[in-house]
Amino acid sequence: MTRIEILQQLLDQGFHRIGQIEILRAESLASPPPCAYLLCHEDDIEDVQNASGQPSGFSESSNPFDARDISTYADDGEYRFTKGQINLKRRWVMHLEDITALHEAIENFYPSNFSLWLAQQRGTLEVQTLRDKLNRQTGMYRFARSISNEGAQRLVQRVCGPAHQCAKKILWQIDADTPLEDSEASRFNGIGSGLAEPHAIPLLCREACNHFVAECRKESKKEFEAKAQA
């Protein structure tokens, strides 16, 4: 089955939410606009439904690649360092002509996430441990690899999870033998809406993001300085 066919099957099974994005079928609206699917922020569903996909004051787009522009900054102007952050802008609606456009849009709102989920379903997803990620860093980020396991465990609890704005399900361990300690962040299932699969698919973190790597670098510097002072 192609990925588009799998997405179609998933939609037929009731999939309608990814991250903070709701997928609406145009035909479900009172006066359907000329498109197949609409996307909007999960908190704007009612407005979009009530206005049959054209709520006033919302920005409108039909290009799935506009997903990137919509998702770069939060409403307060903050750069969203990972698209797993739960501060997606509101008050926009996307009208998509077909399922291919829908696939492109969700892959741009949540880069590669549908692909990763698909690979997980197919049994081909390889997860990268934190140590593997850190050991491959270059330049000033090389220093990140010196972080202790304890420091890394603490960072997960301080940086990841919805309490810290990231709604991805962490798939990685510290290394092959060291799983993450139990915490809200490590337990999080990647579905911020609280819906069950297949109504939503999880956001997946198969390798620590570069923001996490940057935090590891800061933390390992602190550890180094603390040791030097002791």
Q: Find out whether 223 and 171 touch, Cβ atoms under 8 Å.
A: no
Span near other proteins by CB under 8 A; candidates 9-17, 51-59, 112-120, 150-158: 112-120
For every residue of 18-34, DSSP letters joined together read ETTEEEEEGGGSSS--S
Phi/psi of residue 14, each to 5°?
110, 5
Q: Find out whether 40 and 24 touch, Cβ atoms under 8 Å.
A: yes
Decide: is 84 part of the binding site for ligand SF4 (CB under 6 A).
yes
Residue 160 binding target from ligand SF4, other proteins, none, CB below 5 to 8 Å by type: ligand SF4
Residue 170 binding target from other proteins, ligand SF4, none, CB below 5 to 8 Å by type: ligand SF4
Decide: is 205 part of the binding site for ligand SF4 (CB under 6 A).
yes
Q: How many chain residues interact with other proteins (CB under 8 A)?
A: 28
Among 54, 60, 62, 68, binds other proteins (CB under 8 A): 68
Decide: is 159 part of the binding site for ligand SF4 (CB under 6 A).
yes
Residues near 193 by beta carbon (within 8 Å), at least 6 away in sequence: 17, 20, 42, 200
Q: Which of 200, 203, 216, 44 is nearest to 142 (CA)?
A: 216
User: Hey, how many other C-beta atoms are within 10 angstroms of the C-beta on 151?
Assistant: 15
Toward other proteins, which CB reaches closer, 81 or 143? 81
Residues in contact with ligand SF4 by CB under 6 A are 82, 84, 159-160, 166, 168, 170, 205, 208-209, 211-212
